[in-house]
């Protein structure tokens, strides 16, 4: 069973790329971020064989999960777990969607970017990450098998940046952000790529500006985290750089996790 994550930076602009990629990479689950469309305009019919769970908004953000198996449950935002009173406005921006398939909880996140250290958006990012911690604690305390995919906008270590010196004041690399990422791992989540490789330059995002991709000035900020039940069942995890080189690409490229679990989709279909 394969689960992938990809920040597509507009599903409308990237529809062709997504279809092309799925053709060659028929993953069972594809988590998308930055769809940037309202639910009414999401191209649900453009992915034959997949069911779409969507949570969109106009212009910014928006997440979706395509899955071959029809989910047994879908929920959007923190509220269903943490309660609407507790999370305040944190669900206004559509950044989290959750589905359950095959008794696995799949959570797709688009963590706020944070703009710059100390900005109002930075505080929002840290606040949102604290809510995510509470949210994920709920699942881990129940010992459920959880897979958290997404654009985390955090490079966990200096191995994950093209030029790590003097980046501690840079958004996505500041100590508070990295601490927040560490906190998730302390819930017994594993960063699945690092289960299989300790190499540097395993980037998932290259800024559109300044020829970053050509010069390989990238960051690893898209991650798939897995809870303990899935650790031993993780077979491989890798980054597919190819789509970043296509014409008019997203600035992110997909990460794929392969699990040693039979795909019941095939059995069911």
Partner DNA sequence: GCTCGTCTCG
Partner DNA sequence: CGAGACGAGC
Which among 54-62, 64-72, 81-89, 137-145 is the span making contact with DNA, rule CB under 7 A? 54-62
252 labelled as ligand-binding?
A: yes
As a whole number of angstroms, the distance between CA 18 and CA 24 comes to 10
Residue list 72-131, contact with DNA (CB under 7 A) = 112-113, 115, 121
Identified catalytic residue from 110, 122, 135, 222: 110
As a whole number of angstroms, the distance between CA 10 and CA 61 comes to 9
Alpha helices, DSSP H, located in 107-174? 120-141
Residue 216, token pair as written in the block:
């390989």
- If you search the block for the tokens 């940046």, which residue do you land on? 161
List phi, psi (to 5°) of 261.
Answer: -130, 135
162 catalytically annotated: no
**The only residue of 86, 92, 210, 268 in contact with DNA, by rule CB under 7 A:** 210
Contact criterion met (CB below 8 Å) for 19 and 32? no
Strands (E), 23-143: 29-33, 51-55, 63-67, 73-76, 96-101, 104-110
Identified catalytic residue from 17, 98, 223, 252: 252
7 labelled as ligand-binding?
A: yes
Closer residue to DNA (CB): 58 or 143? 58
Closer residue to DNA (CB): 24 or 214? 214
252 catalytically annotated: yes
Which among 139-147, 185-193, 202-210, 254-262 is the span making contact with DNA, rule CB under 7 A? 202-210
Region of 82 on the Ramachandran plot (φ > 0 left; ψ -120 to 50 alpha; else beta): alpha
Residues labelled as active-site residues: 110, 151, 252
* Residue list, annotated binding site: 7, 34, 151, 153, 251-252
* Residue list, annotated binding site for Mg(2+): 7, 34, 151, 153, 251-252
Residues making contact with DNA (CB under 7 A): 9-10, 12-13, 36, 58-60, 112-113, 115, 121, 153, 207-211, 248-249, 251
């Amino acid at each position: 069973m394969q689960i992938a994550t990809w920040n597509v930076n507009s599903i409308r602009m990237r529809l062709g790329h997504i279809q092309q990629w799925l053709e060659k990479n028929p993953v069972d689950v594809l988590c998308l971020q930055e769809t940037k469309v309202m639910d009414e305009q999401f191209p649900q019919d453009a992915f034959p064989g997949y069911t779409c769970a969507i949570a969109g908004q106009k212009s910014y953000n928006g997440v979706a999960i395509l899955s071959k198996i029809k989910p047994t449950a879908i929920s959007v935002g923190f509220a269903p777990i943490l309660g609407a009173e507790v999370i305040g406005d944190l669900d206004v921006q559509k950044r989290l969607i959750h589905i359950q398939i095959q008794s696995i909880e799949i959570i797709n996140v688009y963590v706020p970017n944070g703009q710059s250290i100390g900005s109002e958006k930075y505080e929002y990012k840290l606040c949102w990450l604290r809510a995510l911690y509470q949210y994920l604690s709920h699942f881990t305390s129940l010992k459920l098998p959880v897979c958290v995919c997404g654009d985390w906008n955090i490079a966990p270590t200096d191995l994950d940046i093209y030029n790590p010196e003097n980046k501690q004041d840079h958004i996505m690399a500041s100590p508070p952000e990295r601490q927040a990422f560490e906190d998730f791992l302390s819930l017994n989540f594993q960063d699945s790529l690092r289960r299989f490789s300790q190499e540097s330059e395993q980037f998932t995002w290259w800024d559109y500006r300044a020829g970053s991709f050509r010069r390989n000035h990238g960051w690893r900020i898209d991650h798939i985290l897995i809870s303990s039940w899935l650790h031993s069942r993780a077979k491989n995890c890798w980054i597919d750089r190819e789509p970043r080189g296509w014409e008019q690409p997203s600035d992110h490229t997909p990460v794929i996790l392969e699990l040693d679990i039979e795909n019941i989709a095939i059995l069911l279909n």
